[in-house]
Structure 1
Amino acid sequence: MFDIQEIRSQFTILNREVNGKPLVYLDNAATSQKPDSVLKIWNEYYTELNANVHRGIHTLSQLATEEMELSRRKIQKFINAKHDFEVIFTKGTTEGLNLIAYILTQKLKKDDEIIISYLEHHSNIVPWQLLCERTGAKLRVIPIDQNGILQLNYLDEFLSEKTKVVSVNQVSNALGIVNPIEEIIARTRKNSDAYIVIDGAQSAPHFEIDVQKMDCDFFVFSGHKMYAPMGTGILYGKQAILEELPPFHGGGEMIATCSFDGTTYAGLPFKYEAGTPNVGGNIALGAAVDFIERTGRQNIQNHENALLEYAQKKLLELYGIKIYGEKAKRTGVVSFNLEGVGISSDVGMILDKMGIAVRTGHHCTQPIMDFFNIAGTVRASFAVYNTFEEIDKLVEGVQKAQRMLG
């Protein structure tokens, strides 16, 4: 039984007011709110278990280690990784993508090629540009059409023996478009030996992930977008690939032996987890997985898709609303502008006065905005705790913005 009020009761922050109005939080693509069960686990770590992991023989260190490794196993199951040691704790999607781009440096040379798409977040563009600068490789970009849909005939055209990396997101953070990842991976496998990297920042919170079925080489996502604390994230990589590639950071935990004559590296996952990790956050990430599993991933997906359909219908009933990616398959996001209003932040400020939190601007996807010849959009993004009544308030706020700015 899906009980929205019971779900909302688990998020204390939803009881607060903003500018004297009940909070309507529609900025979940930027970060989600955290259920009390996750905050409780995070707090318990610092009040009852606080100790460094893996290094201590004392009780608190042993208990903290057990809890963090239990979280790793929960995440392994959550994404269906073959082994728990293929699950690497990171600070988030951005660190995961930078890690991959760095450790692949030795695998690329001048005039090799990296394929990304027009729909990428800056964190899936800049690390590859930096890799190109280091190696002399070239970046190729899959274009989109006016609906924001990837033109995959260009992928077929781009793929060759020069292709060393294909890195795309599963869901666009700016538009909510769901990309055909299985098809992209199948076409890539057929025509090249490239490493396949999937940015799952906007997919992991919304629907089931199966990295083995997907057959990607790397999959990255952030904890804070899926009800966990900020500063948490996951890099999944296939065992054979991670074992072959070099470390990212050097320091404690990632060594097997260290002397002034040389260093040997620890096995997975510790080879890629140098230094003291975010232990409390990583344990709480496991609690966020528990929350998602209790709620039911299919329940979450069904509810959020219903919210998206309702929001798009209601907004399109208004005069002068442009929704980007309207005809594409989408999840969790409606990104729009008001006719005659050139600055999306003006709309956002009016909505904020009504207690409605949305994101405005380019959403760290300036190439998308350049394609549509706009400075930015108003983005409302949904989570499991949002309601149809909150969408009605959003539409009311947009109508007010139209009156004030039109």
Structure 2
Amino acid sequence: MVLGIALLTVIADIFILIQYKSAYIKQQIYLLLIFIIGLTFVGQLDVLLPIYFTFSAVTLISKLKFVTKVTFFSSIYFLIYLLYGLINQDIVATIVAFVAKFWQFIIFFIVISIKIKFKETITMQTIYTCLIIETLLGMYLLSTGQMMDPNGMVRLVSNSQPITGNLAIVTLPISVYLYFSVNATSVIRRKLILTNLLFLVWIVLSGTRGYLMIYSFTMLVILLDYFGFRVRDIKSLIKNSLFILCGISLVVLLIIIWLPDVTDRVDSILRLSASVGIRTFENALIIDFFKNTSLLVNIFGIGMGGKAGEYSEYLKALNDQLTLGMWHSSRYMYGSGVLFHNLYANILLTLGILGLIVIAFMGLYIYKTISLCCIDSVDIKYALILYFIGFLLMNYYRWSADCGIGEMIILALILQKIKQDKNEDER
């Protein structure tokens, strides 16, 4: 079954590359659609993620005529670790770490560096298509009974992969662009809000708190504008957000008092009272390991394909956590490469403190890029900045189904489109 779906995925991806060779946003959205559909039935990233990684990058990289210094040096940094891992460490673990954890940042820099001329018109049709596919996949997962995790929490997933909600968060930058477009009518804005409210259903049912954070942060700016709270600067954003938050808190408080059964059900769906689970042990493990390991490992990590179990300090730290109740001992003891749910714990393990600094620098550069591209639109700027902050927070809990690749590609393409619109207006 896996090979059959993989073959169909490749054929469909080739068709998309040919059919939408000049429509970059549609091309990337449809490539993601194909990946998500396949992942729903397979439930494994092993084969489909490398296919998605390859086809989503091939057109974009082919447009890369030159690179900025930041793109060049950050890419070289990760390529050094990649090559070292392929030659001296576990090959599969190295590739998994590179594609599933670090490519999401690299691809943003690549896309923002390419010179493209958008010939496509961004419309609601792309968002409608994603909503239809998201709904069909959600209905399929509901019909197959994949609704509850072992702890009784609502989670609409396929083999632990958070399927529904991924398309919703990837299309959010498109919604922001369309909502705040000078050509946006009140009808279009209402349709955008309604569509995203329908997306919210599938985000909630996915049980993925990271998806919910990205959605809430981004839609906050849109909803503030829709209800007449203009975002003029960061102070007005905070003030208006607090006002809305107080109103929501009051409603929630009344529900808790008068409808406790409803409260329990909402808590189950949103996983509000659920702990971060094994992440608590993972975080303590990585901190303890780095307190006692060598300076070299502290700075550079163990490598993308390194085996943490080869370090005595790590084994001691792991045994300490196992005595406290940590589970899956074999995975953490014998596994290679990325071992944790928390992206930043994985960065510290594989790339060391220097890796965290590099990722932090890349994050600040993305923030600066958003600010510069959206300098003429405060609303879009804060919406996309909050989107990126939500994206970073999501990576603390776990990765999205597409490992952040689609999110960063679409964000960078929308920023490119905003720059192009600005240049055309100035002519």
| TM-score calculated relative to the size of structure 1 | 0.29
Q: 1 or 2, which has the higher strand percentage?
A: 1
Q: 1 or 2, which has the higher helix percentage?
A: 2
